[in-house]
Chain A
Amino acid sequence: MARSTGDAILLEPSGPVPFETAWQQQREQQQRLLDDPQGPAAVLLLEHQPCYTLGRGADPAFLRFDPRRPPHPLFRIDRGGEVTHHCPGQLVLYPVLNLQRHGADLHTYLRALEQVVLDVLTVLALPGERSTGQTGVWLEGRKVAAIGVGARRWISQHGLALNVDCDLSGFAAIVPCGIADRPVGRLSDWIPGLTTTKVRPLLLHALARRFALQLLPCD
């Protein structure tokens, strides 16, 4: 099967996915690209079962619970950044890309992921914005998207999490991304009735456009 370098395998597991399952899938895709850097990229779009994750250098001081008895499963994972929370109603986008094809620049990559979210918000007519010196996307002072990535030989893992209509109470147990003074928000607070089903195609379209990818549904 002939594939162009912009091809990306799209994986969209249904239902809330346990964190370990999606992490394992990402690592398999990353390993595939490490073995064959010219192969197609992969994109995972999913929602997680409630959990907390810490970046490799994350400070446990930003947990408001005892790490030995977390309210939901807690993982220390191979990405940058501080603690965050995942739960149903939050869309998680994990592009496993060979970043050598996208400029080989991790800061540029972080900004591009922010831009993907900003593109989605533009379609929804919401005034999303960046915050100088911080990674993520904000809407009227509330953080709606968190970003954290890891890479091996420029093959990326992890990505972005966009709060659509999730229950935000799980964020109360942490200081999200180590930023204490700014609350988190979700898009359904601005657009009542908005669901992840409606946002999924917008997010995929924005990603495909920003990174010039042809998304190939996996069957």
Chain B
Amino acid sequence: MATHDIFMPALSSTMTEGKVVEWLKKPGDRVERGESVLVVESDKADMDVESFQEGYLAAVIVAAGGSAPVGDTIGLIVETEAEIAEVQAKAPKAPASAPASVVPAAEVPAAAAVPVAPPPVVPAPPAAAPVAVAAPASSASGRVVASPRAKKLAGQLGVDLGVLRGSGPHGRIQADDVLAAKGQPNTVPWVAEGPGPAVVSGGNGASAGNGSAPAPAGNAFGRPGESVTFNTLQNAVNRNMVASLAVPTFRVGYTITTTRLDAFYKQVKGKGVTMTALLAKAVAVTLARHPQVNAATSADGTAMVYPASINVAVAVAMEDGGLITPVLASADRTDIYELARNWADLVARARSKQLQPDEYSTGTFTLSNLGMFGVDRFDAILPPGTGAILAVAGSRPTVVASKDGSIRVANQMQVNLTCDHRVIYGADAAAFLKDLAQLIDTNPESLAL
């Protein structure tokens, strides 16, 4: 059987990987020599990829939306119609789009093996494709179709690829198949980040199977040995983070007593108020009295810009990578109940990727909260275009000594303010933090007024 590979072409000497934008032919379609079969994108350039043979497109190895290194096989062409039937008879259907198996822990606890509907934008490596039917990977000519990682693993583990049945598209042998043949667990559980219950505690091993190897508890976008392209959102976040290196920042820390805030939170929790809304409100009210901390350096670096309103952005990690900062606009003037409702709505729409740009790009001050994970201190990277970001750690009971020598137990949390020193000086940051701490410590009830 004559099978011809379609390779990921090199559109540039600086291209290492390309993205399949669109297949112009479906498996089974007749392909003429020189006819365009698919479109590959690299940077802002598209190229039609043409077939060097006439025949039939027998298999799509990398689906639209997926990426592959230059030179990798992305599709197969056979010469006769009979051969394509042969290939399709023993191969499961190719996935229509690149699937990913990210399981949001908060929604489906401990069900890490359940595949979830693919996110619309993000390409995933084909190795993650859940395929129902196993098929022999070797073709009639004895040619073994296996992923590069499967081949490498097979070598390391001493598995004969020739006797394996591949679970990938068209019977391609995947790394999982090699691991399964060796009796190793082949499911990598994914745990989403997010403001859910902390996942640092034990008892996360439910999906680890009979567990000869420990399952990772944290989120990962790739498997050991893989290289995974940043998605659009991750790239955008990366650009912002790198841009922030041009800003002269410094950091100021403060310990805030939260005993009263925690008690107040218990009272209003039933009315839908969240800790995020309370913290955003506390920050906004304090910013109203410290406009310098709400200011930023202008884009050309020549002026200090004082925004017309106080818009508190709150960082939210996205389950499929990257993070987004939904904005609570005019948070100082919005009541706490409405803030909480707005926040719930923003988060829900952020997860379904339906935020309008002005809902995540107009923050004047950013809040990053890792308190729910029990973190005791961290610092944050300043988002470009703003003057400051506050990193909020977890609150916990602490033995506190007073000036008079008495000792008591109080809930305390550490916060850490990262500032653009061109606009905000140490004294500005300290005065802001002192006021914020005093508000939270002595008068959190005023946040509901």
A175→B121 contact, CB < 8 A? no
A181→B361 contact, CB < 8 A? yes
Residues on A with beta carbons closer than 8 Å to the beta carbon of B11 = 105-107
In the complex, whether A56 has a CB less than 8 A from a CB of chain B is yes
In the complex, whether A88 has a CB less than 8 A from a CB of chain B is no
Residues on A with beta carbons closer than 8 Å to the beta carbon of B236 = 178-181
The CA of A211 and the CA of B131, in the complex, are separated in Å by 49
Given contacts A107-B42, A133-B239, 11 further A-B contacts (CB under 8 A): A79-B46, A80-B21, A106-B11, A107-B13, A107-B14, A109-B45, A133-B235, A141-B300, A149-B45, A150-B47, A178-B232
The CA of A16 and the CA of B48, in the complex, are separated in Å by 29
Q: Which of A61, A153, A175, A180 contacts B48 (CB 8 A)?
A: A153
Residues of A participating in the B interface, judged by any CB pair closer than 8 Å: 55-57, 59, 61, 64, 78-81, 105-110, 132-135, 140-141, 147-153, 175, 178-181
B384→A181 contact, CB < 8 A? yes
A39 to chain B, nearest CB (A): 18
Residues on A with beta carbons closer than 8 Å to the beta carbon of B43 = 80, 106-107, 110, 135
B8 to chain A, nearest CB (A): 14
Query: Closest B-chain residue to A153, C-beta based?
Result: B50
B13→A105 contact, CB < 8 A? yes
The CA of A59 and the CA of B120, in the complex, are separated in Å by 9
B239→A149 contact, CB < 8 A? no
The CA of A175 and the CA of B357, in the complex, are separated in Å by 8
Give the 8 A-B CB pairs with smallest separation, nearest first: A107-B12, A57-B21, A106-B45, A81-B44, A135-B44, A80-B46, A150-B46, A106-B11
B12→A180 contact, CB < 8 A? no
Could you jot down 5 A-B contacts, CB within 8 Å?
Answer: A105-B13, A107-B14, A140-B299, A140-B300, A149-B46
Query: Closest B-chain residue to A60, C-beta based?
Result: B120
Residues on A with beta carbons closer than 8 Å to the beta carbon of B239 = 133-134
B232→A59 contact, CB < 8 A? yes
Residues of B participating in the A interface, judged by any CB pair closer than 8 Å: 11-15, 19, 21-22, 34, 36, 39, 41-48, 50, 65, 121, 232, 235-236, 239-240, 242, 299-300, 353-354, 356-357, 360-361, 384-385
User: Tally of A-B residue pairs with Cβ under 8 A?
Assistant: 105
A105 to chain B, nearest CB (A): 5
Do most interface residues of chain A lie in helix, strand or loop, or is the interface mixed? loop
Query: Closest A-chain residue to B14, C-beta based?
Result: A107
Residues on A with beta carbons closer than 8 Å to the beta carbon of B354 = 61
Query: Closest B-chain residue to A81, C-beta based?
Result: B44
Residues on B with beta carbons closer than 8 Å to the beta carbon of A175 = 357
A56→B46 contact, CB < 8 A? yes
B361→A180 contact, CB < 8 A? yes
User: Which among B46, B232, B236 has the greatest number of chain A C-beta atoms within 10 A?
Assistant: B46
B19→A106 contact, CB < 8 A? no
Query: Closest B-chain residue to A148, C-beta based?
Result: B44
Query: Closest B-chain residue to A146, C-beta based?
Result: B44
B45→A61 contact, CB < 8 A? no
Q: Which of A56, A61, A109, A133 contacts B41 (CB 8 A)?
A: A56
Residues on B with beta carbons closer than 8 Å to the beta carbon of A135 = 43-44
B357→A105 contact, CB < 8 A? no
A211 to chain B, nearest CB (A): 16
Residues on B with beta carbons closer than 8 Å to the beta carbon of A107 = 11-15, 42-43, 45
B205 to chain A, nearest CB (A): 37
Residues on A with beta carbons closer than 8 Å to the beta carbon of B36 = 152
A80→B121 contact, CB < 8 A? no
Q: Which of A56, A109, A147, A179 contacts B22 (CB 8 A)?
A: A56
Query: Closest B-chain residue to A58, C-beta based?
Result: B21
B214 to chain A, nearest CB (A): 36
B356→A64 contact, CB < 8 A? yes
B232→A105 contact, CB < 8 A? no
The CA of A105 and the CA of B14, in the complex, are separated in Å by 9
A170 to chain B, nearest CB (A): 16
A57→B19 contact, CB < 8 A? yes
Q: Which of B12, B39, B235, B299 contacts A56 (CB 8 A)?
A: B39
Query: Closest B-chain residue to A79, C-beta based?
Result: B46
Residues on A with beta carbons closer than 8 Å to the beta carbon of B39 = 56-57, 78
A57→B47 contact, CB < 8 A? no
Residues on B with beta carbons closer than 8 Å to the beta carbon of A56 = 21-22, 39, 41, 46
B121→A61 contact, CB < 8 A? yes
B42→A106 contact, CB < 8 A? yes
A199 to chain B, nearest CB (A): 22
Given A141-B300, A175-B357, A181-B384, CB of A151 within 8 Å of CB of B47: yes
Query: Closest A-chain residue to B123, C-beta based?
Result: A57
The CA of A55 and the CA of B45, in the complex, are separated in Å by 9
B438 to chain A, nearest CB (A): 34
Query: Closest A-chain residue to B47, C-beta based?
Result: A151
Query: Closest A-chain residue to B22, C-beta based?
Result: A56
